[in-house]
Amino acid sequence: MDKYLTVILIFMIVGIPISFVSPTTGEIREQPLILLFYASIAGMSIIIVYSSYKERKERQKANAKRRAKK
């Protein structure tokens, strides 16, 4: 996974507890930030799907290059 995608993924993982716990007081929120929670989940899944797609394409190119050398 690309280092930039990893940093964004870490921020999204940190965003999930922030949606349920107030960072200033440390108490559980009465009304959690559901939009932040679902946006973090959606962003994480998009990053995972994109990185696996990108790695698969790179593997296909490497295999094609390796086969062409013979």
Q: What is the pLDDT of residue 70?
A: 62
Residues 34, 19 contacting (CB under 8 angstroms): yes
70 part of a folded domain: no
Residues 37, 20 contacting (CB under 8 angstroms): yes
Q: What is the pLDDT of residue 53?
A: 95
Q: What DSSP line would sit under 30-58, residue for residue?
A: SS--HHHHHHHHHHHHHHHHHHHHHHHHH
**Comparison of pLDDT for 2 and 30, the residue scoring more:** 30
Per residue in 18-60, pLDDT tens?
999 988 888 998 898 999 999 999 999 999 999 999 999 999 9
69 part of a folded domain: no
Q: What are the residues whose beta carbons fall under 8 Å from the beta carbon of 41, sequence distance 6 or more?
A: 16
Read off the pTM.
0.77
Q: pLDDT-derived band of residue 69, with 50, 70 and 90 as boundaries?
A: confident
**Could you give the number of structural domains in the chain?**
1
Phi, psi for 28 (deg, rounded to 5): -70, 135
Q: Which domain holds residue 46?
A: 3-64
